[in-house]
Amino acid sequence: MVQARSFKHCKSCGGVVRYQVPAGDNRERATCTVCASVHYENPVAVVGTVPVWNEKVLLCRRNIEPRYGLWTLPAGFLELGETTEEGAVRETIEEAGAHIEMQGLYTVLNVVRAGQVHMFYRASLLDTEFDPGPESMEVQLFTESGIPWGEIAFQTVRDTLVRYFEDRRHGRFAVYCADSG
């Protein structure tokens, strides 16, 4: 696995960084050639929900890049100061204007190539009053057969939806962890 090399300058002093293995470490890190600060690059957490009303799942049509115009579950980057569950609720409100009751962690998907971990929670919609935010051009409830499968924005969303409908058919839900997209 090749590590991302996104640092060119030190966040502390502005000096040039060099990728090298610091003393006591086992992998290359962005290390400042001036002040010797070590900068760590770690995966980003994406959190969201699988909001359900009866037999339908709520999807958002993206009004932003990447994947403008395609469908996704309400999700986004976790913010500092939030738990993953709080972030998932916030993203659902921001993107869909949906009122939900959380039902627990559902999928944890590693997206190694993008340096991300995606976590989706199952959620029940409390009503069908939606107010899409600026990141969504529209939101809609879909049955499994009505989902525009060819227009799903991200592999993690597809994986989560496929798993959700499969688990629903079997009448049991467990936490699902895997590598994706």
Q: Same domain, yes or no, for 30 and 111?
A: no
Number of domain units in the chain:
2
pLDDT of 19 reads 94
> Coil, strand or helix: which one is 163?
helix
CATH of the domain at 37: 2.20.70.10
Torsion from C-alpha of 167, 45, 124, 152, nearest 10 degrees? -60
pLDDT of 1 reads 45
Q: Same domain, yes or no, for 109 and 36?
A: no
pLDDT tens series, the chain, 181 aa: 445 677 899 999 999 999 999 999 999 999 999 999 999 888 999 999 999 999 999 999 999 999 999 999 999 999 999 999 999 999 999 999 999 999 999 999 999 999 999 999 999 999 999 999 999 999 999 999 999 999 999 999 999 999 999 999 999 999 999 999 7
Q: Same domain, yes or no, for 84 and 17?
A: no
* pTM of the predicted model over 0.85: yes
What count of residues does the chain have?
181
Q: Same domain, yes or no, for 107 and 133?
A: yes
Q: Same domain, yes or no, for 37 and 116?
A: no
> Coil, strand or helix: which one is 59?
strand
Q: Same domain, yes or no, for 14 and 103?
A: no
Q: Which residues are CB-contacts of 24 (< 8 A; sequence separation ≥ 6)? A: none
Q: Same domain, yes or no, for 71 and 88?
A: yes
Q: Same domain, yes or no, for 57 and 104?
A: yes
60 within 8 A of 139, measured Cβ to Cβ: yes
CATH of the domain at 166: 3.90.79.10
Q: Same domain, yes or no, for 27 and 48?
A: no
Distance, C-alpha 54 to centroid of its chain: 24
Query: What is the side-by-side strand order in the sheet with 17-20?
Result: 17-20, 29-32, 38-39
Q: Same domain, yes or no, for 149 and 103?
A: yes
162: containing domain? 44-179
Q: Same domain, yes or no, for 36 and 101?
A: no
Q: Same domain, yes or no, for 116 and 75?
A: yes
